[in-house]
Amino acid sequence: MTRWFRLRTYRPPDRAPDRHAANGLLLSAVAALALHIHRQPLWLSLGVCGMLAWRYLVENYSWRSPGRLLRWGLLIAALVAVINTYGTLLGREAGISLLALLVGLKILEIRSLRDYFVSVFLLYFLTLGAFLFSQSLITAALAMIVAVVTTAALVRLSLPNTFPASEGVRLTLAILWRAIPIMLLLYLLFPRIQGSLWGLPGDAFAARTGLSDTVVPGSFNALSSDDAVAFRVHFTGPAPPAHQLYWRSLVLSHTDGTAWSRSGADRIAVNTEAWRFRGDGPPVSYTVDYEATGHHWLVALDLPAMVPATAIAHPGFVLEAKKRVEQRIHYAMRSYPAHDISELTPAAREFHLRAPRPASARIQELVDEWRRGSDPVDAALRFFNEQDFHYTLSPPLLADDTLDAFMFGTRRGYCEHYATAFAMLMRHTGIPSRLVVGYQGGVWNDAGDYLVVRQTDAHAWTEVWRDGRGWIRVDPTAAVAPERIELGMTALQALLAQGALPGELEAATIRALLEGRWLARQWSRLGMYWDAANTAWNRWVMAYGPARQLRLLQSLGFETPSWLQVATTLFIGIGALLLVLAATLLTKRDKPDPVAASYRRFCAKLGRSGLARHAHEGPMDFYQRISAARPELAPDCKRIIGLYIMLRYGGVTRPDFVDQLRWRVRHFTAAGHRAARTAPP
């Protein structure tokens, strides 16, 4: 009795796919590897491509497959190479690289149909691995294409070798088309989790760039060449003018004479500064789509008047996220570009006047001259504007006394050079000052009606305390290169690339230089549309989290939906879709077989002449009876019945044979005469 209850694993009869199916698998492998080729080392791409090329020669030119000893040697070499490159077999980069090598090795050792199927499923995993690095629209589109190619390879492997390749493609598209409603239902109703499904600890943010909480002259040099998007802003109403687009991120008050940073003493000294100020004019409402940085600090239009639910307010009107920004976040804000801060404690005043070293003789003489004037701030700005200072992204190195060397030596630099020098000069004149870092400006995207701020727009400016007015923003960069503030960093870089000197150009000259060539303008416009599409993808697809799912369920009538209710709704929806699909397939009329239809028409013509085919009569028996009864019809009937047997029972699927059969039946007459003298196609 036990043999009747013994569980056996069902194994379908093995067969070797034809070379077209094997080549389809190789094509899908190349497509899946192409998703990762730009982030993998060259040796890995060449190695995997070599394995696939070897397999191609095996399938198409009868090369010998590698033996077991060689395969084990390749596996050990792959493990050693990955460890030597990444120092580990774990993590995002190392794991995907190892998976790519294993895919190549598995395809190289294929021996049975089961190995083909295992290789296909490994390719699905490799395709999903692309989302560990990026969830952008282009990644999703490319992954979808790879998934279609891989599914086509899987379907082709599952079909008999006699099926044409076009039938496999048609069946693949039909399967994926019917799966779209179920995919959308799962996306909308499957319980969402907070955070990204694709994040990995450890190496997931190793390559992120952004603002640092320490600024030294030259620290923005890396950001000036980084064109990555920092954040995007959608304004509820009209956007502020360019000179008010200061995006506040960090306030640095501690300095050692060269570097400016935040320290424990900094926070203790200013922790009594409350978020109290008086806004002048109407507030600006907007939303920020902030890219992942791996840091805590956020950005807000200067000066923020609210704190998002996911952020914490810090002195200096600084916003910090409650946890590291390890994925793109979205938050609403309200700010007052025109404002008045009128509170500074004695401890904070003393802290913002500290200078780590006495001023040099030349600096002291300069600030004494400014003190004797009406306003040291205006005097300093005039000095920067009238003296031989230049804005450049490639400044020379500074000596130990960086302030003296910059003011009386190099006189070349960009925003942090001028901001740090100005802040220290103000402290020497007895005016409290601090450094603010963030972003300035941005590029307006007309295609999506929002502002794009990139890492190249990173900026540093100064705030000085004026009794009766509070902290006042002063940007000394504007005194040297007003184009940086009015036109933005992108336009300024274009001017510098053409050899222009900021601050010395007429408006007409600037406009002529920035217009550029027609092709460059069209390319820029195309980039705006692409960025708008990516933004829509991020906002409506990637940002679909628990909060948005809850709002969707509430709109469907669930006030406080539980997991059980959501799961029940999901199963009911999938069941309804499957029932609709089943009903569609069952009621769908099959397309008539052209071969059978032609044969029935042929038999009908003979039946009208008295030679009706019997129900039990096969094609050859019918032909023998026709030959005996009407010998003059035998030649035509032999060709027609021969084509029918070849197409119906011989496994031949050539369309030209089908057309020939249809032509011969159409021109066949029981009298034995053709209606047309032309030869069949």
Catalytic residues: 415, 459, 475
Using alpha carbons only, what angle is made at residue 325 by residues 323 and 330, rounded to the nearest 5 degrees?
105
The string of DSSP codes covering 99-119 is HHHHHHHHHHT--SHHHHHHH
* Order of strands, sheet of 450-454, starting from the edge strand that comes earlier in the sequence: 329-335, 284-290, 229-235, 450-454, 443-445
Task: Report the run of H or E that residue 78 belongs to, with start and end.
Answer: helix 68-86
Secondary structure (DSSP) of 201-264:
TTTTTTT-----SEE-TTTTHHHHT---EEEEEEESSPPPPGGG-EEEEEEE-EESSS-EE--H
Q: How far apart are CA 70 and CA 66, in angstroms?
A: 6
Please say whether the dihedral angle defined by the alpha carbons of residues 139, 142, 145 and 151, taken in this order, is positive or negative: negative
Q: What is the largest CA-CA distance in the chain?
A: 130
Q: Which residues contact 513 (CB under 8 A, 6 or more apart)?
A: 494, 495, 498, 500, 505
Tokens of 8: 């056996």
CB atoms within 10 A of CB 665: 21
Q: Give the total residue count for the chain.
A: 681
Q: Residue 618 to residues 368, 369, 600, 627, 640: CA-CA distances in angstroms?
A: 117, 117, 13, 14, 14
How many Cβ atoms are within 10 Å of 241's Cβ, its own excluded?
9
Peptide bond connecting 505 to the previous residue in cis, omega within 30 degrees of 0: no
- Give the C-alpha separation, 329 to 91, whole Å: 24
For the purposes of burial, counting CB atoms within 10 Å of the CB of 226, is it exposed (0-12), middle (13-18) or buried (19 or more)?
Answer: middle
Residue 324 phi, psi (nearest 5): -55, 140
Determine whether 439 is exposed, middle or buried from the number of CB atoms within 10 Å of its CB (0-12, 13-18, 19+). buried
Give Rg (Cα) of the chain. Answer: 37
Amino acid of residue 77 = A
Closest Cα partner for 231 from 541, 450, 21?
450
Contact 220, 274 (CB under 8 A): no
Determine contact, residues 437/295, Cβ cutoff 8 Å.
Answer: no
The distance from CA 260 to its chain's CA centroid, rounded to whole angstroms, is: 35
331-342: burial string, b at 16+ Cβ within 10 Å, e else: bebebbbebebe
C-beta separation of 254 from 266 below 8 A: yes
Tell me how far apart the alpha carbons of residues 440 and 500 are, in angstroms, rounded to a whole number: 21
If DSSP codes are grouped into helix, strand and coil, which group holds residue 603? helix
Residue-by-residue DSSP string for 462-530: EEEEETTTEEEEE-HHHHH-HHHHHT-HHHHHHHHHTT--TTS--HHHHHHHHH--HHHHHHHHHHHHH
CA separation (Å) from 250 to 306, 316, 319, 392?
16, 8, 8, 24
Contact present, 180 and 147 (Cβ < 8 Å): no
